[in-house]
Amino acid sequence: MKNKNNNVEMEGEIVQLLSNGKFKVRLTNGYFVVAHISGKIRKNFIRIILGDQVLVQLSPYDLKKGRIVRRYLK
């Protein structure tokens, strides 16, 4: 699904915690991407842990990197 900025949004699961607020995310299609936290999530001190379901925005230019824009409740 696409939003107004032509970014691709996909759901995924956090599988590994990396340094500097980055995470390895397994998308629903089976691919892995490295994603960082968006500013609103960081500003509101929303904690993301291993196994969380998240929404990731991917740039159409580089599909290996993304930005976590939402954390879903369990």
Is the predicted pLDDT of residue 2 greater than 60, yes or no?
A: no
**Cβ-Cβ contacts under 8 Å for 36 (sequence gap 6 or more):** 20, 21, 22, 23, 66, 67, 68
For 15-60, write each residue's pLDDT tens digit: 999 999 899 999 999 999 999 999 899 899 999 999 999 999 998 8
If you ran DSSP here, which 8-state letter would residue 62 be given?
Answer: -
Q: What is the pTM of this model?
A: 0.87
| Domain residue limits, the chain | 8-71
- Indicate the class that CATH gives domain 8-71: mainly beta
